[in-house]
Structure 1
Amino acid sequence: MSSDIITEPMSPRRANYTRDRHPFKVCCAICGVVLATEDAWMQIVTEDGVPENHDEIHPFYENPEGDKLSLTDWLDDVRLLADTSPSLHHMTVELSPLARDNGNGYFIVAGTPPVVRAYYRDEWERYIVPFHDECFQILQQYLGPGDINMTVLYDTFVGLSKDEDTCMAMGSLGITSRYEAAELLRSHTMSFRKGVEYLSISPMDIPELARFYEALPLLRHSDSGTVEASIASRAPSSDPFRYLAPEILLIMASEMDIPTLLRWRAASLVAARCPLSNGFWKRRVRREMGWLFDFPQLLSREVELQVDWEQVFQSLYFASNPCNEDRIDGLVNRRYIWEQQCPQIAKPYLFKLANKNVDIRNLIRQLQNLSLEKGEVLVHPAPLKVTQHCPTLFNNLAELGTIEPVLVVSWTELGDLASIDIEKNGKSESAGHMYMDDREGKDKVVLVERVPIPRDDWLTGLGFAIQDGECWVVFSRDTDDESFDDDANMGDAEDRRVPTEQQRIVGLDVYFAKRQPVHLGAHGESYNSVRVARDKFVVGLTMTRRTYRGTISHAALIQASATYCQGNKRFAQCQ
């Protein structure tokens, strides 16, 4: 069945993307397509990936006639998601204004230093996640109404990153994309193969879709209600559906996806003769085409009854199919991003939003001016890939006088501090998220110790015993070097291992307002501690964890004004 939408070719030939200036590329964290700059070029690439004519190369942003191909401008409209806090031990995540590609992984952002680098891991450097602005708009629509929690989104991308924290590996995300399969994996060129050029076309600015909205197909007959199904008595006796009532057939049809529905109606004469109402197709458009989030919402009841919803569904279903010759490239790209890419991000994002750092987000609504009391750097070398956990000592202010939280401290088989969790009323937040960002091969936890906080006392600080030693890290080449080769940079990691000084957390002291400190673990060669300020009380902890090994690299106290606990005897240090 063909679409009624007439697509107009953008140029006499469909351009394929290739870039020759530098082997290093930066791709969108959402759709996987390269974040392009206007030094890009195009040429036609055959099915086996061989350019048709090396002499016919045109600027990618222009067709062979030299006119601006505006539908690819979106590739250079970039957003950067980054932790912008002054301290490396607590996240303040922000989304940048529009940025532009400056080549070699660098981007220009208004109001920032000259350039910033994305997907870059180096000691004391921020990890910046880049994506197309239009891809982010689609992700916003996919996640539904309300503002996206940028801290949770950033943590989601960090969790999806596959980079180890022992080297400066670039841009490896655990998100599959069609671009990876379509790209020519050479050291100096990147191209689209034939048939996937739609990945370069704007998924938001779709002129053909706008024209379709302006002239929605209308019913040819006035009857837009439900039609009674009349199953012919001549249906083959072998058809297993001939004895089912029309109402049952309609219920079955409503539960099938479209490919299954079409196969069912092709295989069964009874199913084929069971008419599906206009309302049935309207519900299908609303339910299965979430990527039509810009569908006109101001249609009157009378207009909605006149719209041929079956034709709407079929037209847009086939126009968004990459295998259809009459496809709309921008709509194909939007549907691809919506159905294939967004779920890979939304699943861990929604999981973390529901299970990780939930209690501290709830307390922020109750307590004003929360602050961090941070200690010194605890480990060396500093990990490049980390995630943060913020367990709290209570759930709401009403519990302050009665709750008896328990610190749950875990140690690895090597004696490193793995985690500090807080159990409240028999439950801990980590039971919900299970440190999902940790690498599968992380250090094994062999010891768990519990430190209860009695009803008449409170936590006032933590002390960390540090053990000195030596470890191996991978020396990283500078990607600005003209001799840099991405594959070589990754392939010879073993040859670039160098020894360096190491510091590990091997012991922990827990300080209280009244009782003596409790020591856990071993004693170290040096010692760092963090104590709550005199006019504050501890609300919870911030653990910065090295995901590669599943160990703590830094910890801080989350504190609030002592006015919230005024008169409560358990907070003696605040009086």
Structure 2
Amino acid sequence: MIPLHDACNKVLAKFLNYSVGTTPENYLRVLFETLRSFHDTSSDFYTGRIKYGKISKQHGQFWYPTLTTKAFVYDPFFTSPVLKAYYDNLPETGKGGEQRDDSAVYYMKPTSKTDPFRKLPAELLMMILMHLPARSIFQLKLASVAIVQLQLPGSFWKQKLKRDMPWLWDFPGQGTEQTRKNLDWLQIYKDIYIGSKGNGRSPFFNLVNRNRIWRISEQIAPRFVKCQEEWEIAKARKRKDYLRP
């Protein structure tokens, strides 16, 4: 048996809308077939292969969350007071200093001649970093002076926030450019990235659980799509047999 809470099901539905753009009329039936298929031990999608995150060690007949896993009992759709306070006071850039084009990318100073990345235009490096996870960017900074000296605009981090955290559907920073132009998108990215990992003194517990369920949905979605295709084929065959004289 694979338990699926209502909140988890809603996150899965949002993931399917985001990834494959599908909300079939027979959603619950396809979902049932998808979950049932995970019991097939000969399948590559066998449930034992699903990674549930840090809570895996707590799985059993009863679930006893610990201090490090208590976030996983939070409703992923509930906006906690800590997160609401953060949303109401999003960090902004400094008021003083020289203003520059928020879409421009440049090197802070001449890069090392021995760094192979220095041969690449700053705009190309920005495109590469857009597709890398945050952990890889950090590791790349340890290996490249050019990456460290690369000054990325706020618009980069705003776009990367949407790309890396598609589960952040309740983020309020989508207002008009006039009211949101001073937001510090790099700091926002850092805060939410760390807070949704369960790290720091004030983690965003609902985002921690939402992020975890989203990662599980990534593993379920391919099987769901396959079951949906099989369902559509079977339905088409039944319709064809029905219309056959």
TM-score by length of 2: 0.80
Map of 1:348 onto structure 2: 223
How far apart, CA to CA, are the structure 2 residues paired with 1:243 and 1:180?
A: 45
CA, structure 1 residues 210+137, in 2 after alignment: closer, same or farther (shift >3 Å)? farther
1:439-518 mapped onto 2 (5 Å cutoff) = none
How far apart, CA to CA, are the structure 2 residues paired with 1:309 and 1:197?
A: 29
SS at match of 1:306: coil
Structure with bigger strand share is 1
Is contact 2:194-2:200 (8 Å) kept?
A: yes
Map of 2:74 onto structure 1: 201
**Displacement of 1:223 after TM fit?**
3.9
1:72-87 mapped onto 2 (5 Å cutoff) = none
Of residues 313-322 and 194-203 in structure 1, the stretch that sits farther from structure 2 once superposed is 194-203
Is contact 1:226-1:278 (8 Å) kept?
A: yes
Is contact 1:232-1:270 (8 Å) kept?
A: no
Of residues 258-267 and 211-220 in structure 1, the stretch that sits farther from structure 2 once superposed is 211-220
- 1:281 partnered with 2:157: yes
**Displacement of 1:140 after TM fit?**
1.5
1:110-129 mapped onto 2 (5 Å cutoff) = 119=1
Map of 1:151 onto structure 2: 29
CA, structure 1 residues 254+298, in 2 after alignment: closer, same or farther (shift >3 Å)? closer
**Displacement of 1:323 after TM fit?**
4.0
**Displacement of 1:143 after TM fit?**
1.0
What whole-Å deviation, never above 9, does each CA across 1:418-447 have from its counterpart, x for those lacking one? xxxxxxxxxxxxxxxxxxxxxxxxxxxxxx
CA RMSD of aligned residues (A): 2.9
CA, structure 1 residues 162+357, in 2 after alignment: closer, same or farther (shift >3 Å)? closer
**Displacement of 1:141 after TM fit?**
1.1
CA, structure 1 residues 193+242, in 2 after alignment: closer, same or farther (shift >3 Å)? same
SS at match of 1:242: helix
CA, structure 1 residues 180+231, in 2 after alignment: closer, same or farther (shift >3 Å)? closer
Aligned residues: 231
Larger Rg: 1
1:240-259 mapped onto 2 (5 Å cutoff) = 240-259=116-135
Is contact 1:198-1:333 (8 Å) kept?
A: yes
Gaps of 5+ in 1: 1-118, 120-128, 164-171, 364-390, 395-538, 540-558, 566-570
Paired residue type of 1:302: Q
Is contact 1:224-1:306 (8 Å) kept?
A: no
TM-score by length of 1: 0.37
Is contact 1:278-1:309 (8 Å) kept?
A: yes
Is contact 1:224-1:278 (8 Å) kept?
A: no
CA, structure 1 residues 231+240, in 2 after alignment: closer, same or farther (shift >3 Å)? farther
Map of 1:217 onto structure 2: 91
Paired residue type of 2:169: F
Paired residue type of 1:352: C
What whole-Å deviation, never above 9, does each CA across 1:92-117 have from its counterpart, x for those lacking one? xxxxxxxxxxxxxxxxxxxxxxxxxx
**Which structure is higher in RCO with an 8 Å CA cutoff and minimum separation 6?**
2
**Displacement of 1:240 after TM fit?**
2.1
How far apart, CA to CA, are the structure 1 residues paired with 2:165 and 2:148?
A: 23
CA, structure 1 residues 310+304, in 2 after alignment: closer, same or farther (shift >3 Å)? same
How far apart, CA to CA, are the structure 2 residues paired with 1:298 and 1:284?
A: 14
What whole-Å deviation, never above 9, does each CA across 1:393-437 have from its counterpart, x for those lacking one? 74xxxxxxxxxxxxxxxxxxxxxxxxxxxxxxxxxxxxxxxxxxx
Is contact 1:203-1:334 (8 Å) kept?
A: yes
Map of 1:369 onto structure 2: none
Paired residue type of 1:191: Y
How far apart, CA to CA, are the structure 2 residues paired with 1:304 and 1:199?
A: 32
How far apart, CA to CA, are the structure 2 residues paired with 1:287 and 1:237?
A: 32
How far apart, CA to CA, are the structure 1 residues paired with 2:91 and 2:165?
A: 17
CA, structure 1 residues 141+224, in 2 after alignment: closer, same or farther (shift >3 Å)? farther
CA, structure 1 residues 350+218, in 2 after alignment: closer, same or farther (shift >3 Å)? same
How far apart, CA to CA, are the structure 2 residues paired with 1:223 and 1:150?
A: 51
How far apart, CA to CA, are the structure 1 residues paired with 2:175 and 2:108?
A: 34
Paired residue type of 1:201: Y
The one of 176, 181, 184 aligned to 1:308: 184
SS at match of 2:226: helix
How far apart, CA to CA, are the structure 1 residues paired with 2:102 and 2:154?
A: 7
List structure 1 runs of 4+ shifted beyond 4 angstroms.
none
1:492-571 mapped onto 2 (5 Å cutoff) = 539=241, 559=242, 571=245
1:399-418 mapped onto 2 (5 Å cutoff) = none
**Displacement of 1:297 after TM fit?**
7.2
How far apart, CA to CA, are the structure 1 residues paired with 2:88 and 2:105?
A: 32
Is contact 2:71-2:206 (8 Å) kept?
A: yes
Is contact 2:34-2:227 (8 Å) kept?
A: yes
